[in-house]
Amino acid sequence: MRTGVAEGSTNVQYQLELADTRDPKQRRFQPLNAYLNGHIEIEWSGLVFCQHCNRKSRKSYGQGYCYPCFTRLAQCDTCMMSPERCHFHQGTCREPSWAEQVCFQPHLVYLSNTSGLKVGITRSTQLPTRWIDQGAAQAVVLAQVSSRRLSGLIEDRIREQMSDKTNWRQLLKSEPPELDLVDIRNSLIQQLKPELLGIAEPFGPDALFFPENGGTRAFQYPVLSYPTKVSSFNLDKTPKIGGRLMGIKGQYLLLDGGVINLRRFSGYEVSLNLQPNETEY
CA nearest to 99, candidates 121, 81, 79: 79
pLDDT tier at 58, thresholds 50, 70, 90? confident
Q: Rounded to the nearest 5°, which phi and psi values hold at 140?
A: -150, 145
What span, in angstroms and rounded, lies between the C-alpha atoms of 277 and 275?
7
Q: Strand, helix or coil at 190?
A: helix
Higher pLDDT, 167 or 20: 167
CA nearest to 218, candidates 124, 128, 119: 128
What span, in angstroms and rounded, lies between the C-alpha atoms of 111 and 119?
5
| Per-residue model confidence (pLDDT) at position 281 | 39
pTM for the model stands at 0.92
Assess whether pLDDT exceeds 60 at residue 37. Answer: yes
Assess whether pLDDT exceeds 60 at residue 280. Answer: no
Question: pLDDT of 151-204, one tens digit each?
Answer: 999 999 999 999 999 999 999 999 999 999 999 999 999 999 999 999 999 999
- What amino acid is encoded at 47 in this protein? L
Alpha-carbon torsion angle 168, 219, 138, 256, nearest 10:
-20
What span, in angstroms and rounded, lies between the C-alpha atoms of 84 and 148?
8
Question: pLDDT of 103-154, one tens digit each?
Answer: 999 999 999 999 999 999 999 999 999 999 999 999 999 999 999 999 999 9
| Per-residue model confidence (pLDDT) at position 101 | 94
Assess whether pLDDT exceeds 70 at residue 274. Answer: yes
Cα 203 to Cα 45, 95, 105, 120, 245, distances in angstroms: 48, 21, 13, 20, 48
* DSSP string covering 30-70: EE-GGGTTSEEEEEEEEEEE-TTT--EESS-BTTTB-HHHH
Measured on CA atoms in the order 195, 124, 266, 274, is the torsion positive or negative? positive
Assess whether pLDDT exceeds 60 at residue 272. Answer: yes
Alpha-carbon torsion angle 254, 271, 75, 53, nearest 10:
180
Task: Calculate the average pLDDT of the chain.
Answer: 93
